[in-house]
């Protein structure tokens, strides 16, 4: 089954922030939870899937797709009634990351605030670890 790209995402390196030990591999802000709920409303999919792929100036970028099922090695994050599945290739790069949803006059996008990133490209789409 082919996946559909849900949205683009921006990555921000977070400096001066220590990893916070939580049970979840990824935490969601209230804005991200609300946006995911609205994306999944009236859809047969059960959640969103976060992946990582080779792309851009710095090497890696996150992908967001609808998920109909949880794959065997996916990490499942359930928060405030929404499910986010993390692909096995993206799990280590997301530890301690906060997923937010930001809207401005020109854009609306998910933003990954990640303390593990060493560098990002100028547009914020790709990162290096």
Q: Where are the domains of the chain?
A: 26-120
pLDDT of residue 45: 87
* Mean pLDDT, rounded, for 79-108: 88
Q: Over the range 56-76, which residues count as b (16 or more CB within 10 Å of their CB) and which as e?
A: bebebbbbbbbbeeeeeebbe
pLDDT at 95: 83
Mean pLDDT of all residues in the chain? 77
Check residue 125 and give its pLDDT.
54
Give the residue among 95, 101, 15, 96 at the shortest CA–CA distance from 64.
Answer: 101
CB 58 within 8 A of CB 121: yes
Residue 9 vs residue 64, higher pLDDT: 64
| Residue 98 contacts residue 113 (beta carbons within 8 Å) | yes
Which pLDDT value is given to residue 127?
47
Report phi then psi at 74, rounded to 5.
-70, 145
Q: Name the pTM for this structure.
A: 0.73
pLDDT in tens, 25-71: 889 999 999 999 999 998 888 999 998 887 655 567 788 899 999 98
Task: Domain 26-120: state its class.
Answer: mainly beta
């Amino acid at each position: 089954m082919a996946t559909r790209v849900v949205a683009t995402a921006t990555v921000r390196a977070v400096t001066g922030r220590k990893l916070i030990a939580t049970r979840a591999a990824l935490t969601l802000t209230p804005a991200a939870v609300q946006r995911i709920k609205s994306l999944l409303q009236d859809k047969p999919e059960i959640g969103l899937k976060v992946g990582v792929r080779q792309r851009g100036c710095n090497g890696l970028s996150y992908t967001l797709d609808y998920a109909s099922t949880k794959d065997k090695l996916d990490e499942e994050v359930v928060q405030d009634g929404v499910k986010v599945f993390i692909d096995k290739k993206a799990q280590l790069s997301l530890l301690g990351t906060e997923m937010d949803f930001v809207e401005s006059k020109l854009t609306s996008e998910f933003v990954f605030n990640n303390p593990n990133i060493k560098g990002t490209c100028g547009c914020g789409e790709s990162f290096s670890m």
